[in-house]
Amino acid sequence: RRMFLDHLNQIIRFSHHNNQSFALFFMDLDNFKYINDSLGHEAGDDLLIQIAGRLKSIFRSSDMVTRLGGDEFTVIIENTKESDQFEVTQLAQKLLDQLANFPIVIGGRSFTVNTSIGIAKFPENGLDSDTLLRHADTAMYAAKKSGKSQYALFSEEMNNDLREHIEMENALKEAIRAKDRLS
């Protein structure tokens, strides 16, 4: 994780200095908990190792693939065209297709693994590592919300939706607390 953050910060400085763009993929495996719960953590670990290998085979050797923790992976895709979303979305779709069309074998059993991918681009979606990670994570949750095994490019509307959701949740909690105080 520390190596990933160091690399991300280096890429930000380099890209800013050289007026380049890059993309950050934030991925969460869909329904990973079921494999861990039904087959055990050893099988889950085997799945994660195989997924990491699959990710490395899909991306360029210059792109950094990292497991952040649990079933979350990130990929830094360097030197993308700032105005061209096609390149990044095409890569996200290739990843989804590779996972869906080529099952992973664990203990003699075949598993189709899907992932939800959130994408943030530098510089348009953030100028620092915290913002880029937060925006890629927000986009990933939007992808999960839209049906899993999807990708989503970050948009400012996602932040607005998230703020509205948090405000509504807080208002409901406050209403429940107020009702309890009246009882």
pLDDT in tens, 66-105: 999 999 999 999 988 766 677 899 999 999 999 989 999 9
Q: Whole-angstrom Cα distance, residue 138 to residue 132?
A: 10
Q: Which among 28, 30, 63, 71 is annotated as catalytic?
A: 71
Strand partners, 73: 27, 67
Using an 8 Å Cβ cutoff, are 22 and 76 in contact?
yes
Mean pLDDT, the chain, whole residue set: 88
Strand order of the β-sheet with 115-122 is: 64-69, 72-80, 21-29, 115-122, 151-153
Who's near 113: CB < 8 A, 6+ residues apart?
A: 29, 30, 47, 51, 99, 103, 104
- CA dist 95 → 17, 58, 89, 99, 122 (Å): 30, 7, 10, 6, 21
DSSP 3-state percent helix, strand, coil across the chain (nearest 5): 55, 20, 20
Residue 171 has pLDDT above 80, yes or no: no
> Model pTM?
0.85
| Residue 9 pLDDT level (bands cut at 50, 70, 90) | very high
- CA dist 76 → 61, 127, 138, 183 (Å): 11, 14, 16, 53
pLDDT cut 90: percent of the chain above it? 62
Who's near 36: CB < 8 A, 6+ residues apart?
A: 43, 44
Q: Which residue has the higher pLDDT, 47 or 170?
A: 47
Q: Is 71 in the active site?
A: yes
Give the sign of the dihedral formed by CA 7, CA 62, CA 111, CA 141: positive
Residue 20 has pLDDT above 80, yes or no: yes
pLDDT in tens, 27-55: 999 988 888 888 899 999 999 999 999 99
